Protein backbone atom coordinates (compact mmCIF):
# COMPACT_ATOMS: atom_id res chain seq x y z
CA UNK A 1 0.00 0.00 0.00
CA UNK A 2 1.22 3.51 -0.83
CA UNK A 3 0.91 5.92 2.10
CA UNK A 4 1.70 9.64 2.23
CA UNK A 5 2.48 10.92 5.74
CA UNK A 6 1.97 14.70 5.95
CA UNK A 7 3.27 16.15 9.21
CA UNK A 8 5.49 19.11 10.04
CA UNK A 9 6.86 17.38 13.15
CA UNK A 10 10.00 15.52 12.07
CA UNK A 11 9.79 13.03 14.97
CA UNK A 12 6.28 11.85 14.04
CA UNK A 13 7.05 11.95 10.31
CA UNK A 14 10.17 9.80 10.69
CA UNK A 15 8.78 7.45 13.34
CA UNK A 16 5.59 6.59 11.46
CA UNK A 17 7.20 6.40 8.03
CA UNK A 18 9.76 3.95 9.45
CA UNK A 19 7.09 1.83 11.18
CA UNK A 20 4.94 1.74 8.03
CA UNK A 21 7.93 0.75 5.87
CA UNK A 22 8.75 -2.04 8.35
CA UNK A 23 5.24 -3.33 7.62
CA UNK A 24 5.96 -3.48 3.86
CA UNK A 25 4.22 -0.25 2.86
CA UNK A 26 5.60 2.26 0.37
CA UNK A 27 5.83 5.59 2.16
CA UNK A 28 6.48 9.18 1.15
CA UNK A 29 6.52 12.11 3.55
CA UNK A 30 5.62 15.78 3.32
CA UNK A 31 6.42 18.45 5.90
CA UNK A 32 3.86 21.13 5.04
CA UNK A 33 0.58 21.63 3.21
CA UNK A 34 2.05 22.87 -0.06
CA UNK A 35 4.46 19.92 -0.27
CA UNK A 36 1.58 17.57 0.54
CA UNK A 37 -0.48 18.84 -2.40
CA UNK A 38 2.52 18.52 -4.74
CA UNK A 39 3.46 15.00 -3.59
CA UNK A 40 -0.06 13.63 -3.64
CA UNK A 41 -0.28 14.26 -7.40
CA UNK A 42 3.05 12.62 -8.23
CA UNK A 43 3.02 9.81 -5.64
CA UNK A 44 -0.71 8.97 -5.92
CA UNK A 45 -1.05 7.31 -2.51
CA UNK A 46 -3.71 4.81 -1.51
CA UNK A 47 -4.24 6.89 1.65
CA UNK A 48 -3.06 10.20 3.12
CA UNK A 49 -2.24 10.54 6.82
CA UNK A 50 -2.79 14.25 7.31
CA UNK A 51 -1.80 16.46 10.24
CA UNK A 52 -3.98 19.52 10.83
CA UNK A 53 -1.46 22.06 12.13
CA UNK A 54 1.18 22.53 9.43
CA UNK A 55 2.95 25.53 7.90
CA UNK A 56 2.08 27.12 4.54
CA UNK A 57 -1.31 25.36 4.34
CA UNK A 58 -3.00 23.68 7.27
CA UNK A 59 -4.64 20.27 7.03
CA UNK A 60 -8.12 21.76 6.61
CA UNK A 61 -6.95 23.73 3.54
CA UNK A 62 -5.20 20.67 2.10
CA UNK A 63 -8.31 18.57 2.61
CA UNK A 64 -10.51 21.21 0.94
CA UNK A 65 -8.21 21.39 -2.11
CA UNK A 66 -7.90 17.60 -2.40
CA UNK A 67 -11.65 17.08 -2.39
CA UNK A 68 -12.22 19.81 -5.02
CA UNK A 69 -9.81 18.23 -7.51
CA UNK A 70 -11.29 15.27 -9.47
CA UNK A 71 -7.81 13.68 -9.67
CA UNK A 72 -7.40 13.55 -5.88
CA UNK A 73 -10.97 13.64 -4.53
CA UNK A 74 -11.23 9.87 -4.12
CA UNK A 75 -8.00 9.47 -2.11
CA UNK A 76 -8.96 8.51 1.46
CA UNK A 77 -7.70 10.83 4.18
CA UNK A 78 -7.05 9.83 7.78
CA UNK A 79 -6.57 12.84 10.03
CA UNK A 80 -3.41 12.19 11.99
CA UNK A 81 -3.15 14.91 14.61
CA UNK A 82 -2.75 15.82 18.25
CA UNK A 83 -5.81 18.04 17.89
CA UNK A 84 -8.55 15.98 19.42
CA UNK A 85 -11.28 18.49 20.08
CA UNK A 86 -14.64 17.33 18.80
CA UNK A 87 -15.10 20.48 16.70
CA UNK A 88 -11.81 19.87 14.84
CA UNK A 89 -12.65 16.22 14.18
CA UNK A 90 -16.14 17.13 12.97
CA UNK A 91 -14.79 19.92 10.75
CA UNK A 92 -12.30 17.51 9.14
CA UNK A 93 -15.01 14.92 8.55
CA UNK A 94 -17.32 17.53 7.05
CA UNK A 95 -14.51 18.44 4.62
CA UNK A 96 -14.19 14.81 3.53
CA UNK A 97 -11.83 13.09 5.98
CA UNK A 98 -12.48 9.38 6.41
CA UNK A 99 -11.40 9.17 10.04
CA UNK A 100 -9.27 10.54 12.85
CA UNK A 101 -6.42 9.16 14.94
CA UNK A 102 -4.60 11.03 17.68
CA UNK A 103 -0.97 10.44 16.73
CA UNK A 104 0.21 10.76 20.35
CA UNK A 105 -2.14 8.40 22.19
CA UNK A 106 -2.67 5.13 20.40
CA UNK A 107 -0.90 1.95 19.49
CA UNK A 108 0.57 1.29 16.06
CA UNK A 109 -1.35 -1.95 15.30
CA UNK A 110 -4.65 -0.09 15.78
CA UNK A 111 -3.47 2.57 13.34
CA UNK A 112 -2.68 -0.09 10.74
CA UNK A 113 -6.12 -1.64 11.23
CA UNK A 114 -7.76 1.76 10.70
CA UNK A 115 -5.70 2.41 7.53
CA UNK A 116 -6.62 -0.96 6.03
CA UNK A 117 -10.28 -0.49 6.98
CA UNK A 118 -10.44 2.93 5.29
CA UNK A 119 -8.60 1.85 2.13
CA UNK A 120 -10.80 -1.22 1.65
CA UNK A 121 -14.03 0.83 1.71
Q: Within 10 Å of residue 56's Cβ, how many Cβ atoms?
A: 14
Residue with the larger pLDDT of the pair 81 and 105: 81
Mean pLDDT of the 91-103 span = 92
Residue 36 domain-assigned (yes or no): yes
pLDDT at 106: 67
pLDDT above 90 for 59: yes
pTM: 0.94
pLDDT above 90 for 85: no
Residue 41 domain-assigned (yes or no): yes
Q: Within 10 Å of residue 67's Cβ, how many Cβ atoms?
A: 16
Residue 120 domain-assigned (yes or no): no
Residue 121 domain-assigned (yes or no): no
Domain span at residue 34 reads 2-115
What's the domain count of the chain?
1
Residue 52 domain-assigned (yes or no): yes
Domain harbouring 104, CATH code = 3.40.50.2300
Q: Tell me the CA end-to-end span of the chain in Å, nearest whole number.
A: 14
Question: Cα–Cα distance between 89 and 121 in angstroms, integer?
Answer: 20
Mean pLDDT of the 39-52 span = 96
How far lies 62's CA from each of 29, 53, 58, 69, in Å?
Answer: 15, 11, 6, 11
Residue 40 domain-assigned (yes or no): yes
Question: Among candidates 108, 14, 99, 12, which has minimal Cα distance to 53?
Answer: 12
Residue 11 domain-assigned (yes or no): yes
Mean pLDDT of the 61-75 span = 96
Residue 30 domain-assigned (yes or no): yes
Amino acid sequence: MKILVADDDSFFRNFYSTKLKENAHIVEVASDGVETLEKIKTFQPDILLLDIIMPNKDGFSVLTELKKDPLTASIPVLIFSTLGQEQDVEKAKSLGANGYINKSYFDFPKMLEKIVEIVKK
